[in-house]
Amino acid sequence: MSETFLEVRNLVKIFGKLTAVDNVSFKVEQGEVVTLLGPSGCGKTTTLRMVAGFEKPNAGEVEIAGRVVVSTNRRIQVPPERRDIGMVFQSYAIWPHMTVFENVAFPLKVRHANRQEIKERVEKTLDLVGLANFSDRPAILLSGGQQQRVSLARALVYSPSILLLDEPLSNLDAKLREQMRIELKRLQQQLGFTVLFVTHDQIEAMSLSTRLAVMNQGHIEQLGPPQEVYERPQTPFVEDFLGRILRFRGTVTERQSNYQVVEFDGVKNVQVRVSDGAEQAAVGKKILVAIRPEDVRVERDHAPGRGNIIPCDVENVLHLGREYELVLRVADRVCTITVPRESGSKVGQTIGLYLPAEHLRVWAATAALEETGTEQTTRAGSAARDFRAG
């Protein structure tokens, strides 16, 4: 228990008719970066704001560093300033009437630190975020990236129990975002602070998190280490939201103890073995088979005799510069994958897509899922090498 820095228990937040956060629970251990990831409106920011104390939950509890700060049952609602948290806002919320130094010194001033200590700690923190020479600059004259650093310094300067980051990188341009992401990772590893991070950007979530929680419509769909969530999504939503996906319709034709055999709609005489047991469908049932495009390999040999290879026609080839985009037709549906330049595919050619059994996942066919799979742009991982080898 002493390891747990933040615990959220059964949080519920209702806005009018909408349940924005629906019974959310999770823990953040010391030194961890836990990310709430999801599309806009999934309740991630509301959850964060309840942890910070800016929203009052309709039900649930929040415990920070062993102290209950929110409990609807016990009528506890500690105001934000007494929660010992640091927060970085999406808009940075830099106070425009203060200099960089004054912005960062503010939390120490309200804590009545003495002048010498304030000076030392502010300078140390500014140095840490790479703004050592900007102390006297009016905060508003800084660039976006610099404001971001001030905001971070201001949240770190008093060493709060936990740092809350609300989409901190989303207002930066692409290059700066990448740079700040790496910087944030470095700072976190160096100082070891505990972070609750909210973002809709999966790259940020994947690269920064110790564990990540994918949220959808107010609840957590899956919570785990990024790699696990990516490779073993437990719901179609998670699979679709993280990374890219190819989906095929099919029918189960055979069931064995450790695999099932599927025949894709419109592809005659091709049997695909699937090791996934997530959707235990009976023989004859309609299902969807999904695979990450980087797990697909393009094979020149498309003879139906070999296992798990489906033939498809190259309808179009688009030159993207460093790679090609192939528009492929598989029976009645079109999907696109990208392959390296050297692959040499031509329009009209028939190629084979090798779908490794261990990477295929099976989901029950629902109308909502089928829609997402009709046109797909995806990327084939190591396909080219195999293509040439074949």
Q: Where do contacts with other proteins occur on this chain (CB under 8 A)?
A: 52-55, 79-87, 89-97, 106-107, 110-111, 138, 140-141, 144, 147, 151, 154-155, 158, 164, 166-167, 170-171
In the complex, the smallest distance separating the C-beta of residue 182 from other proteins, rounded to whole angstroms, is: 22
Q: Counting beta carbons within 10 angstroms of the beta carbon of residue 339, is it exposed (0 to 12), middle (13 to 18) or buried (19 or more)?
A: buried
In the complex, the smallest distance separating the C-beta of residue 196 from other proteins, rounded to whole angstroms, is: 12
In the complex, the smallest distance separating the C-beta of residue 87 from other proteins, rounded to whole angstroms, is: 4
Round to whole Å and give the CA distance between 46 and 52: 10
CA distances from 76 to 8, 62, 287, 378 (A): 14, 10, 48, 49
Handedness of CA 376, 201, 194, 76 (dihedral sign): negative
In the complex, the smallest distance separating the C-beta of residue 116 from other proteins, rounded to whole angstroms, is: 20
Give 11 or 113: the residue with its C-beta nearer to other proteins.
113
In the complex, the smallest distance separating the C-beta of residue 179 from other proteins, rounded to whole angstroms, is: 18
Token readout for 361 is: 């996942």
Token readout for 294 is: 């980087």
Nearest to 144 by CA among 166, 177, 167: 177
Give 6 or 337: the residue with its C-beta nearer to other proteins.
6
Give 108 or 262: the residue with its C-beta nearer to other proteins.
108
Strands lying side by side in the sheet with 333-340: 297-299, 350-354, 309-319, 323-330, 333-340, 375-379
Give 35 or 146: the residue with its C-beta nearer to other proteins.
146
Round to whole Å and give the CA distance between 64 and 51: 9
In the complex, the smallest distance separating the C-beta of residue 81 from other proteins, rounded to whole angstroms, is: 5
Give 92 or 387: the residue with its C-beta nearer to other proteins.
92
CA distances from 324 to 299, 343, 387 (A): 16, 8, 14
DSSP strands (E only) in 217-259: 219-224, 246-255
Give 31 or 144: the residue with its C-beta nearer to other proteins.
144
Give 55 or 63: the residue with its C-beta nearer to other proteins.
55
In the complex, the smallest distance separating the C-beta of residue 88 from other proteins, rounded to whole angstroms, is: 8
